[in-house]
Chain A
């Protein structure tokens, strides 16, 4: 029995020695500048749309910008580049809308071998599902509060 405990201890020590340690400072710096650059690209696309189509509404211009970013991120995920950026930048690649796109495209491609319905379509929402659920519920809650406020004024 005691021998078994010693083995577990030794194993845990072995595992913690093998787990790659992420150094906090470089990843913080990388997430900062990669995230900033992704936002700059978004601002560039938005300004370009406003320049090319001057009478577009601000809201539609943002919608096109986000769709363009989602397209770029889905493509980069497809050719395997986005995962490399993710390994390098961490939060810098997860937090922008491109990370949301990556979280949908990446499992779709990975589970393609399980078929179109049970592979692509089901696994597509492994990460995006909770995001949409919490987003819809929390915004509906906000809507309810505003509805009650409007009832009284």
Chain B
């Protein structure tokens, strides 16, 4: 009798799980047309930090703040769901909510969500995002944007699925004190000469190390190399390490061995020490958002606080980060969603406001030209330097033809694995093997 009960239980449990397994098997492959509606009472915005919320609070006309994560536009309640990116938490949450989007209650439907360049294609190339043309945003509305910011959010049929208010071209942010001590000048043009190519950069690094400083972390230069590759990370489902990535490994290994660069992880406490004079570091690599968000300019004693940084383009043009706004399919606030995207990413008056209040490098050729032409773009933390000319030139040069939806996993794991090689714990081949395995765990369909 007991055995019969047990086996009956097991069979039931088995059946239950089989049914559960089959029930949730609905892919995103269907080619349904966007379904958009109006009249929703709640506008749900999914994002990973406070940035977009504060932009909306400060610059969107008619937005009133209610509390930390809610606001009002007219009689529509704006609700922010903020989940940090760490450990993929943001995407995990977004994915599971998006998959339930069709059947969700009107007030729970996602209307807008934000994505980063490293994984934008994962969302853009599906029906979960809405073509901007379907919202009535035309190419003439977007003409003033930098084309690279649009390439990131184009699906495989060339439809534009998102828009950004930032153009994150990036360069080399150097410590003026150290530049004077090592190069004898802190003039951006002269410093640029000293770091204008990788050969020059490596020469300068040797001098910097000789004077008792470090250049930066190997992870700072990573993006400069990874943006200038000749092929995608994944080709025909095979992970491919580009020649330029190998260059990063070789150059970095030499610099680490000669103590000209360190191996600190980005955002770590060790890495952050360079924001202060005691960090004895020559430079950071970063875009405009780096000035405001990452240099501790509000802290007494930091280099930024004393206006001690300078900005130049560096060895190669590249971009880093940026946030794109996507409209979610099945939104019930079509008009408002359209207006937010239009206002926040194409309205020149709003964009100029953002640039001046938040020192953001905005996605408008006209505004950047205005900022670089007079003193309105001078930044105190750069010792009064106006970086907008260089930032605008850089944004024109960024080339994103080699983006893939696997970039996030590949970039993260490549840096983590190669760190072991730089520290001398293993050979390049062994680190590479470890990198392949880590990417494969995240994307089981890939081979190497």
- Whether chains A and B associate is no
